[in-house]
Structure 1
Amino acid sequence: MSIQNRRERERAERHQLIIDAARELAEEEGWDAVTTRRLADKVEYSQPVLYSHFKGKDAIVRAVAIQGAGELARQLRKARPEKGRSRLRAAAEAYLKFANTRPALYDAMFVQRVDIPFGTDDIPQELRDAFGELVAAVEPVRGDRDLETLTELFWSTLHGIATLTHGKRLRPAHHEARLEMALGALSLTQQEDGL
């Protein structure tokens, strides 16, 4: 292995170490606790080394969010059901489980302010993949409706449920009924003109 290859590998490992440390600290104490100073201490590198990888905390949160979207895409893909089970329900359950089990990661992806160009052609592939899995889940129930708009509605519904559940603003005993109603509403096909 050449010296250049070794340096590139070590740089990539340091880069990932910083991301992992940020995620760990955020899971333990929340994103407000994630500072470049604390991260530098945690990974045992100086702040200038940290800044050689990331311009600041926002860039770190962005990197965490992109990696998280890749993880979400893999979870949604893994949750694709066998025949006879609703793909929409499987995606909804996988999405909500992801949000519930990885709250700081979910927060980085969809709550924290990040400079990711959602809804544009410049969106990172990991986010494209996650949204593509939601599109695939919605496609069987789309009817005559615009697929991407219906998927955005599905995603918005799941995000609302995830965020309000995490904030303890919904009645826990009604989770299944809420999910059933949401999926039922999305599954309706257009039955009247003008709808």
Structure 2
Amino acid sequence: MTIRERRERERAARRQLIIDTARKLAEDDGWAAVTTRRLADCIEYSQPVLYSHFTSMEAIVEAVAVQGFADLADDLHTACAGSETLDQRLGALATAYVEFGLSQPALYDAMFVQATDLAFGSAETPEQLRRAFDEMRSVIRESPGGIDPDADTEVFWAAVHGLVTLARSHRLRIESTGVHLTVLLERVIRLWVPHPDRGALNQWRDP
């Protein structure tokens, strides 16, 4: 390994350490408690070193968000991989999404609530965001009852995102999230999945 390669690897490791530490602090104490000074103290680097990787706290949040979309894409892919029928894949997709959002609130906030410059649905959209969307679209496009794969995916995404957001803010009964998810899936499956291919809805587990 050359000196340059070693330095690049060390720099990449420092950058990832900053992202991981910010993510952990946010999950423990909320984003309001995450500052560049606290991050510098936790990773035992000076603030100038931290700023050599990220120009602002917002840039750190954005990096956490991008990593979150990569994690979400992996979770959705894994959840749907073992499902044999379309209705099972739709159920696995929705359940995995809701579980992701409810189990990692600070990460979900970085992805959808905190201020970032991330572009959605444009040529500038990062690959990680595209991959998360494509994991949903790859299932939803199978539906013979859909209207348009992109629009159907966006509406499905809006629905599961709404369940996560309202449950987390206690605008919905969070203990009834499993019921809400089953209701949503029943309506979607009635519209999108031909009757012979429908399975039993009681297979969906509570998030």
Normalised to the residue count of structure 2, the TM-score between the two structures is: 0.87
How far does the alpha carbon of each residue in 1:104-144 deviate from its partner, in whole angstroms, 9 at most, with x for none? 11111111121011110211111111000111221233525
For 2:162, the equivalent position in structure 1 comes to: 160
**CA deviation after TM superposition for structure 1 residue 25, in Å:** 0.6
Q: Which runs of 5+ in 1 are unaligned?
A: 190-195
CA distance in 2, matches of 1:99, 1:78: 16
- Tell me the residue number matched to 2:54: 54
Cα distance in 2 for partners of 1:173, 1:100 equals 12
Residue in structure 1 matched with residue 33 of structure 2 by the alignment: 33
Question: Greater CA deviation, 90-99 or 178-187?
Answer: 178-187
Q: Which letter maps to 2:142? A: P
1:65 pairs with 2:60: no
Question: 2:203 maps to which residue?
Answer: none
1:100 aligns with 2:96: no
**Shift in Å at residue 166 of structure 1?**
1.4
- Candidates 105, 111, 114, aligned match of 2:113: 111
Q: Secondary structure at the match of 1:55?
A: coil
Q: Residues 150 and 144 (structure 1 numbering): CA distance in 2 closer, same or farther, change over 3 Å?
A: closer
In percent, how many aligned pairs have the same letter?
Answer: 51
Once the two structures are TM-superposed, the CA of residue 2 in structure 1 deviates from its matched residue by 1.2
For 1:129-168, list aligned pairs within 5 A: 129-141=131-143, 143-168=145-170
Letter in structure 2 aligned against 1:120: S
Between stretches 10-19 and 169-178, larger displacement belongs to: 169-178
SS at match of 1:122: coil
Structure 2, unmatched stretches of 5+, are 193-207
* 1:24 and 2:16 correspond: no
Aligned length: 190
1: CA distance, partners of 2:108 / 2:144: 27
Output the aligned Cα RMSD: 1.6
Residue type of the alignment partner of 2:91: R
